[in-house]
Amino acid sequence: METKTLPFYKYQGTGNDFIIVDNRQLVFPKNDTKLIARLCDRKFGIGADGLMLLENDEMADFRMVYYNADGREGSMCGNGARCLVDFAHFLGIIEQNTTFMAVDGLHTASWGPDQVRLQMQDVSEIREKPNYLFLDTGSPHHVQLVAGIEEYNIPHEGKRLRYGLYGETGSNINFVEPLEGNTFAVRTYERGVEDETLSCGTGVTAVALAMHHLGKATKEAVRLKTKGGELAVYFRRQGKGYTDITLEGPVEQVFNGIISV
């Protein structure tokens, strides 16, 4: 069987790391879930929280196709999208402003040398439960306040809630602790990765909206401190939901290389 080689690029956004492939020529074997999982494996592959393909799109500058580390196509990934915007700028597809297609629809974004700012989809509903909140920011998110977040056993508690409350389909599980002002510490257990990640873009977006919904964030601008770095979320309250939601933070192209497929 003939082996093909393909260039790849490794990116990270506040420690959330991704393999990115320019697939405008449709050469990547998209249905090979075992290959994608192997490439994302930190022992036997490149190592990443997910893999993304940049493809052509008739309605936008490009299309984002996202796969979880388990090899299956995933829901919206905020940090991944910010990295892909930087990659599109690196390729010369975009300059400062862009519109691109993702699994949850069209997004706009703006590129800067230090920050990439991504517009997220509107959130129409936040469900309040006795001990947590649930909302969808392009991916489903459970948001739960805890004390002593640094010592909290995220992998154990995240897995227990991810399967115990949400079954096989699952949800991302976010644990949050208020800091000073409108700043919150966040740690996230991600489905598809099935472990804690250093950061989660749709997760910190969910946390910012949930904290404002509870009155713990008093401004429509919230800072989120993750293990991988700091992100900012801006939004506007509209009825029971939120609109004009943007996620902002740094991204970095870490290295590039050649993979066999």
**H/E/C letters for each residue in 109-161?**
EEECCCCEEEECCCECCCEECCCCEEEECCCEEEEEECCCHHHCCHHHHHHHH
Q: What is the pLDDT of residues 115-129, one digit of tens each?
A: 999 999 999 999 999
Is residue 83 flagged as an active site residue?
no
For the chain, give the percent of residues with pLDDT over 90.
Answer: 96
Q: What is the pLDDT of residues 136-183, one digit of tens each?
A: 999 999 999 999 999 999 999 999 999 999 998 999 999 999 999 899
**Catalytic residue (one of 200, 207, 245, 247):** 200
Is residue 40 flagged as an active site residue?
no
Assign residue 138 a region: left if phi > 0, alpha if psi is -120 to 50, beta otherwise? Answer: left
Check whether 1 has a pLDDT greater than 70.
Answer: no
Check whether 3 has a pLDDT greater than 80.
Answer: no
* Domains and their CATH numbers in the chain: 5-120+251-260 (3.10.310.10), 127-249 (3.10.310.10)
Which H or E run includes 260?
strand 252-260
Q: What is the pLDDT of residues 29-79, one digit of tens each?
A: 999 999 999 999 999 999 999 999 999 999 999 999 999 999 999 999 999
Check whether 4 has a pLDDT greater than 90.
Answer: no
Q: Count other Cβ atoms within 10 Å, centred on residue 216.
A: 14
Do 138 and 107 contact (CB within 8 A), yes or no?
no
In eight-state DSSP terms, residue 61 is S
**Catalytic residue (one of 77, 154, 217, 224):** 77
